[in-house]
Amino acid sequence: MAEFHVISGAQITSRPLVIRKLRMTDINSALRMGLQDFVEKPSHYVFLCLIYPIVGVILITWTSGGNTLQLIYPLMSGFALLGPLAAIGLYEISRRREQRLDTSWFHAFEVLKSPAIPAMLGVGALLLALFVAWIFTAQALFDWLYGPTLPTSITAFAHEVLTTRTGWTLIILGNLAGLVFALIVLTTTVVAFPLLLDRDVGAYRAIVTSAQVMAKNPVPILSWGLIVAVLLLLGSLPLLVGLAVVIPVLGHSTWHLYRRAVV
């Protein structure tokens, strides 16, 4: 049945997955190889990833005019929760380059033909649910601290947040809540999508394997998560335009991290 294929995958008789012990050198190597993939044909990746800055600008404009300025930062930072899903096409490019196949940009869309696409959509639905939960959490925290009072302008709101005790409480608690969501995403999807692209093992096994990678390699994977967060922050600073470079580099690097983590 289709639903069981999504959960358990088609390769029910495949050999057991073996998790390797990672070192920080593996993280560095994955990043270096991801950068090499990007440098080879960067025009492809800019095409694939410009959607990030475009959507970010649209969201900023929408929230600024809808008396929901308090959600600008949660929306922008929340994109990181959807990053593993958005980079699926980049995993395919890295996979093809690894096998010395043609890496023209249109091959990124061949992932749509993968037999594991239902399972990928299943894991993607999990990420979307976490993204929505994060937005609701951020709004609930704001309501708890500020009540029905809404910011009137982005300048006044920034001044309120940065110069008052309530504002700093919002910053600290908000970022702690965001950290929890980020850790959930990192634990459940660090290798889930590359694994599904490589082998149709089903959503459940992909998520469990990601958790096993985290459990066996907590320091390297947490370091990887920190690197991702810092690079996404730096890419977001110039009006999100830097994400057109950061996202593809991280996407390719994630594929190589998967290759090192799972036999």
Neighbours of 133 (CB within 10 A): 14
8 within some domain: no
Q: How far apart are CA 67 and CA 209, in angstroms?
A: 42
10 within some domain: no
198 within some domain: yes
Place of tokens 């690197």: 227
pTM score, whole prediction: 0.85
pLDDT per position as a tens digit, 90-145: 888 888 888 888 777 777 778 888 888 999 999 999 999 999 999 999 999 999 99
Return the pLDDT at 130: 95
250 within some domain: yes
Range of the domain at 226: 22-261
Q: How many domains is the chain built from?
A: 1
37 within some domain: yes
Which pLDDT band, with edges at 50, 70 and 90, does 43 fall under?
Answer: low
6 within some domain: no
Question: Sign of the CA dihedral 234, 141, 58, 67?
Answer: negative
Please tell me which residue, 168 or 65, carries the higher pLDDT value.
168
Q: Take residue 17 and report the two structure tokens written for it.
A: 């997955």
Q: Take residue 104 and report the two structure tokens written for it.
A: 């023209």
104 within some domain: yes
Q: How far apart are CA 58 and CA 31, in angstroms?
A: 30
Which pLDDT band, with edges at 50, 70 and 90, does 66 fall under?
Answer: low
The yes-or-no verdict on residue 13 having pLDDT over 70 is no
Q: Take residue 228 and report the two structure tokens written for it.
A: 């991702």
pLDDT per position as a tens digit, 172-190: 999 999 999 999 999 999 9
Determine contact, residues 227/78, Cβ cutoff 8 Å.
Answer: no
85 within some domain: yes
